[in-house]
Structure 1
Amino acid sequence: MHTMWKGTISFGLVNIPVKLHTATENKDIKLRQLHKECESPIKYEKVCPVCEKEVGQDDIVRAFEYAKNKFVKLSDEELKELKEENSDKSVEIVDFVKLEEIDPIYFEKSYYLSPNEGGSKAYVLLRQALEDTGKIGIAKIMIRSKEQLAVIRVYQNTLLMETIHYPDEVRSVGDVQNVPEEGETVKKELDTAKMLIDQLTTEFDPTKYTDEYRNALLELIEARKNADEVTTAKEKKAPDNVTNLMDALEASLQKANKGQKKTTKKKTTASKKSKSTKKVKKEA
């Protein structure tokens, strides 16, 4: 399993060298967009809407838009300095709480934690302590330039770290419109709803749930492949060096001709001026 981060977990005076691994993966089927006419993949370019030209990475600066079309520019050096100040490779557990005290709305992404060299004994110690007390650790960690709040708990004999949202990242339910206030319900309807819930209640088994749309889409794609209903994108035509050379020669020739005409014109003008001057002198 790919290691995406190395550091330590610390609680009190205990430090545990660990490695971080992504525990989940997104299995969405990514579809490409093709040009309908030539069936080639569409290329997305970074274009300035004002200059109307493509810009390279060296021509781009980062900025924060604090109001409509009002920006505060931030240099790469400033961002790097801030990142270095807060990129201590450690997960500091600051509190221990019960898992049921955290609403699922706060949970974001899961990571497996494995012991790094010399960390097995302390790893087992923390795992056993969490299991015996029924608690989870609340910690902070820096991941990809963002300080994350996280919980550390035991999952199938492995320490699991789950990043969670900060309170100001969870939107207020008060902003949700048209939510009805508490009202009276018909007893018969409520009893029927409860009965239905009881009938459908079971133990949670994640293996019984599948992404039916994704499976159907994969089957469709595989059927098209087997039926040889496929498209091969046309390769971009390689530049013709001979043509380019001829174009360059013709352009150079035209440029030379223009320069020659200008020089001839200047000489003719100068000659006329000289003759005119001589004529004036003779008359004098």
Structure 2
Amino acid sequence: MHTMWKGTISFGLVNIPVKMHSATENKDVKLRQLHKECQSPVKYEKVCPVCEREIESDEIVKGYEYAKNKFVILDEEDLNALKKEQEDRAVEIVDFVKLDDIDPIYFERSYYLSPNEGGGKAYSLLRSALKDTGKIGVAKMMIRSKEQLAVIRVYENVLVAETIHFPDEVRKVEDVPNVPEETKVPEKELDTAKMLIEQLTAEFDPEKYKDEYRTALLELIEEKKNNEETATAKDKPVPDNVTNLMDALQASLDKAKKNKAKPRQPKRKTKTTAKKKKATS
């Protein structure tokens, strides 16, 4: 499993060297966009609309737009220094809370934590303490140049860092449009709804839930491939220097023939030329 971050988790005077690994993966079926005419993948180029040309990566800088078309430029040295300053800090657990105290809307992404060298004993200590108390740790950490609020909890037998949104990242429910006010629901309808919920209540088993659309899409792709309903992108034409040279020579020859075929216009006599001839005679 790929290690994406190394650091330490600390609570009190206990420090645990850990490695972090992504706990989830995106299994969406990725479809490429092709040119309908020749089935070639469409390119997305970085183009400057003012200079009207494609630009290279080393020509790009980062900026914060504080007003329309007005930017504060941040160079890589500024960002790297800030990032290094934050990354040097340990993941410090600042509070222990109950998992039920955090609404699921705050949860973002999960990462597995494994003990780094010499961290096995402290890792086991924190894992056992969290299990026995039923608590989770709230901490701050840096992931990919962004400070994250996270919770440290136990999943099966592994410590997990679960990134959660900061409060100002969760939009206010008051801004949700067309939400009806609290109204009294008829007792009979409410009892029927409760009865239906009871009938459909079951133990949560994640294995029973499948991505049916992804399965059907993969089956469709396999079926089309087996029936040879496929397309091959055309190769980009490579310039032929010999051909280009012949074309240039032929164009030059045609131009020369065309100029030769034109009747030559006699030069107009100017007053200066006439005076020279008279003086000579």
Q: Would the TM-score normalized by the shorter structure come out above 0.5?
A: yes
1:118-163 Cα offsets, whole Å, 9 max, x none, are: 1101100010111111110011111100011100001101101100
Cα distance in 1 for partners of 2:230, 2:88 equals 50
Query: In the alignment, what sits opposite 1:32?
Result: 32
Counting aligned pairs with the same residue, the percent is 74
Give the aligned partner of residue 62 of structure 1. Answer: 62
The one-letter code of the counterpart of 1:194 is K
Distance 2:109 2:184 in 1: 39
Residue 154 of structure 2 aligns with which residue? 154
Is 2:118 the counterpart of 1:133?
Answer: no
Q: How many Å separate the matches in 1 of 2:50 and 2:109?
A: 39
- TM-superposition CA deviations, 1:144-190 (whole Å, max 9, x none): 00011100001101101100000010000011111111111111111
Alpha-carbon distance in 2 for matches of 1:244, 1:226: 42
How many residue pairs get aligned? The number is 261
Aligned partner of 2:116 in structure 1 is 116
Q: C-alpha offsets along residues 103-132 of structure 1, whole Å, 9 cap, x if unaligned? A: 000000000000111110110001011111
State the partner residue of 1:78.
78
Q: Which moved more, 1:239-248 or 1:48-57?
A: 239-248
Cα pair distance change 1:203/1:240, threshold 3 Å: same
* Alignment partner, residue 102 of structure 1: 102
- What is the distance in 1 between the residues matched to 2:8 and 2:247? 63
3-state SS of paired residue (1:86): helix
Alignment CA distance shift 1:192-1:238 (3 Å): same
Aligned to 1:191: 191
SS of 1:160 mapped into structure 2 = strand
Matches within 5 A, 1:220-259: 220-244=220-244
Higher mean Cα deviation, 164-173 or 54-63?
54-63
User: How much has 1:233 moved relative to structure 2?
Assistant: 1.0
Q: Does 1:53 find its partner at 2:59?
A: no
Cα distance in 2 between the residues matched to 1:33 and 1:151: 39
Q: Aligned residue for 1:259?
A: none
* TM-score normalized with structure 1 length: 0.85
* Distance change (3 Å), C-alpha of 1:99 and 1:248: farther
Give the whole-Å Cα distance in 2 for the aligned partners of 1:160 and 1:89. 19
Give 1:108's aligned amino acid.
E
Q: Which amino acid aligns with 1:140?
A: K
- Per the TM alignment, residue 89 of structure 1 is displaced from its structure 2 partner at its CA by 5.6
Structure 1, residues 24-66: CA drift from partner, whole Å, max 9, x if none?
0111111001111111110110111222211111221111112
Change (3 A) 1:159 1:248: farther
Quote the offset at 1:67 in angstroms.
Answer: 2.4
Q: Which moved more, 1:178-187 or 1:102-111?
A: 178-187
Amino acid in structure 2 at the alignment position of 1:128: S
- CA shift, 1:6, in A, is 1.1
Q: Bigger shift: 21-30 or 75-84? A: 75-84
Maintained 8 Å contact 1:98/1:136: yes
CA distance in 2, matches of 1:27, 1:224: 21
Residue 83 of structure 1, CA deviation? 1.1
CA distance in 2, matches of 1:29, 1:89: 38
- Please list every run of 5 or more consecutive structure 1 residues that lacks an aligned counterpart in the other structure: 255-274
